[in-house]
Chains A and B, each alone.
Chain A
Amino acid sequence: MSATTAAGPEAPARARRRPRPGGSRPGAAGPVFVAPFLILFLLLFLTPLGYAAYLSLFQHRLIGGTSFVGLHNYLTALSDPQLRHGVLRVALFFCIQVPVMLILALLFALALDSGLMRLARVVRLGVFLPYAVPSVVATLMWGYLYGPSFGPIAQIAKHFHAAAPNFLDSDWMLASLSNIVTWEFTGYNMIILYAALQTIPRDLYEAAAVDGAGAWRIARAIKLPALKPALTLTLLFSVIGSFQLFNEPYLLQQLAPNVIDSAYTANLYAYTLSFTGQQVNYAAAVSFLLGLLIVVISYVFLFLASRRRVAR
């Protein structure tokens, strides 16, 4: 499908260059090419979104049924301490995990691009491979590794008469989750950054080398500035991913129910409201507010990134 839509803009462009008498109007084919995407987008994306927005304006009670409540659900959500804690927790998670992950991804990308690394192909595949593991499997695997009584880390520590930290207690949980997410997504971000590095014209490096720049200087003065758009992109994905954190805490909840409660992250809270409490309407309002927050934060990042580029 992406092939169809990609071909869309090209067809009219060619038509414009060589207008045929009596031929179709320029651009007429465009909508036809875009239609398959638009129809699915409308049906599978905008319609459910609209339905959720509609639902969020009602309240359904076991006794009394459904009634229209306007923005009441949103007002409740804004003053809901559980939602606030969930959002603050994912914000903290974002501040810790994302810088670590992106710096690692950047280092791997630069090292691979430098061409100096041995076994570059193996490393590239190895770092990327965790991304191919479904997050559910990754979390189950790490959950086993973290296990406080029979997990391998605890067992090894016991063998050396040391005490391994309990990775699943309230002090360590956020770090343990960060580790899983970092493990999963460093490779993905690395590939984006590595691909961006590949597009830098090689003659820039030659010119810099002629001017006497070393590898570090080239990385700082040429590669990093050129990576800015790609870094902004990875940052945006990370904002969305962090604030929607769900799979990992949901699965670790089975192992540490006393640490991860049902409102541990904002998304987990929305899920619990909907599937445990049957408060579908309130869950819709919470989800919308969360979506709005993600849009605002993403926009702020884009704004900051573009302003800095203009200022330079």
Chain B
Amino acid sequence: MLGTAALAACGSSGTPAAASSASALSQSDIDGAMSKPTTLTFWTWVSDISEEVALFEKKYPAIKVNVVNAGQGSAQYTKLRTALQAGSGAPDVCQIEYQYIPTFTITDSLLDLRPYGASALRGKFVDWTWGQVSGPNGEVFAIPQDTGPMGMLYRADIFEAHGISVPTTWDEFATAAHKLHAADPSVYLTNISANEPAGWHGLLWQANAKPYVMTDSSTITVNVDDAASQKVASYWGELAQAGVISTDPDFTDSWYTGFNQGKYATWLTAAWGPLFLSGSAQATSGKWRAAPLPQWDSSSQVSGNWGGSTTAVIKSTPNAIAAAQFAQFLNSDPDCASLFASKQFLFPSTKALLADAGFTGQAPAFYGGQQVNEVFAKISDTVNPTFQWPPFLDQVATDWTNTVGKALADKTDAVAALGQWQSQITSYAQNQGFTVHTS
């Protein structure tokens, strides 16, 4: 109740009605708002973010930012949805992962940042990240914070012991999978988790699949069993059925033990993976190396993305200018961006930092001194810029685990499972009032 009253009051006191006009605000409007004492609430699960926030507060002493950890991922989104539905209690600024942006734009909950100067930042960020935060009519719904371009971490020692050279195409990868498992039945070339729809979407992304395309705000084309998706599903389905890759659930005790004991010779992961692995598989330090994902077409380098976050402004904020400036500063200010990379080890989204030798030149011992960031910085340039997410991602992800993930783990027909996945998504979307097309 109170929140609504406050909102109404602010709306009448001259704050421009948010995003109703795409025309830019004048600098004096911005200066005025940034010197007016304001408190912003910022929901994020990035740990120790107070250092970055302090940089902003130093530049704009009138603005106080109240950082709240409202849970990680789904836990935070559930709270955000509840607050949005209740009409009060939502933050001004919020961390949102790329894949969840459409989930919140379909309910019209994110502020278009174009009038607040976001368009000018476009050139600072890696192209594909800008594609991810952009709406169908060119809106800018969030500012990229960090990314997860996908590559391959591999055990150089295992490859060497079995005479396997680093696969550069998926064909070579499949041959290596058979060879390795035949030579040592306790080792699998990789593990494709039956409960990791996010990683799977990264692989779809690399294969240039277009599983979800919103043509207007209530029409969606669902295409999860098109030719590109079938290529990916039949590839992994055949390897799983042959038993030469494993399908263990990831981020479980058993999975960590698998890495430490050398059960998996590679991990197809994102740019945040190298640091994560070095903390989780210490027994294998020095034995890992990084390489790009194997390719479908050897003549071009393409990758997908798995993970990473953005900073978005919630439309209900009474302090739209300050909130938008904060979201922009936090991710585009060079000092702030390099703090994210050096303190929180988030993989950068800005071109400047990805080209910065201080970042790319690091040579961690876990990877035998290889400049892992350099590898992933190059991969970031090859991420396909056109991938789109559906506005009901949670449902799509759960349905994937129940169909395709299950088929991989049960060693049944993964391509047939794509059909089930397609029909489950279709019936859910229709039930939610969407017009669903299959092209």
Contact = CB atoms under 8 A, between A and B. Distances in A.
Interface string A249-275: 000011111100110000000001001
B432 interface: yes
A277 interface: yes
A62 interface: yes
Given A150-B258, A276-B398, A257 B409 contact: yes
B254 A276 contact: no
A254 B258 CA distance: 16
Contacts of A258: 194, 247, 405-406, 408-410
Contacts of B392: 62, 277-278
A278 B432 CA distance: 10
A275 B395 CA distance: 9
A271 B249 CA distance: 21
A61 to B, nearest CB: 4
A144 interface: yes
A3 interface: no
A257 B406 contact: yes
Interface string A54-92: 000000011110000000000000000000000000000
B428 interface: yes
Interface residues of B, number: 36
A24 interface: no
Interface in A145-163: 147-151
A257 B433 contact: no
B252 interface: yes
B335 interface: no
Contact of A147 (B217, B218, B254, B395): B254
A60 B174 CA distance: 46
A150 B254 contact: yes
Contact of A277 (B81, B249, B395): B395
Contact of A63 (B81, B253, B410, B433): B433
A256 B406 CA distance: 9
B428 A63 contact: no
Q: How large is the interface on A (under 10, 10 to 19, 20 to 34, 35 or more residues)?
A: 20 to 34
Contact of B249 (A151, A254, A278): A254
Contact of A64 (B107, B261, B405, B433): B433
Interface string B133-175: 0000000000000000000000000000000000000000000
A258 B249 CA distance: 9
B432 A62 contact: yes
Given A262-B398, A276-B395, A277-B394, A62 B405 contact: no
B434 A63 contact: yes
A149 B248 contact: yes
Interface string A105-140: 000000000000000000000000000000000000
Interface string B402-416: 100110111000000
Contacts of A61: 431-433
A278 B74 CA distance: 12
Interface string A32-47: 0000000000000000
A254 B249 CA distance: 7
B401 interface: yes
B401 to A, nearest CB: 5
B7 to A, nearest CB: 20
A64 B107 CA distance: 11
Nearest to A262: B398
13 contacts: A62-B392, A62-B433, A63-B432, A150-B257, A254-B249, A255-B252, A262-B398, A275-B74, A277-B392, A278-B81, A278-B392, A278-B394, A278-B395
Given A62-B107, A256-B249, A261-B401, 16 more contacts: A61-B431, A61-B432, A62-B432, A63-B433, A63-B434, A144-B253, A149-B254, A150-B254, A253-B195, A255-B252, A257-B406, A275-B78, A276-B394, A276-B395, A277-B395, A278-B395
Interface of A: 61-64, 144, 147-151, 253-258, 261-262, 272, 275-278
Closest 10 CB pairs of A and B: A63-B433, A258-B409, A257-B195, A61-B433, A64-B433, A258-B406, A62-B432, A63-B218, A150-B257, A276-B394
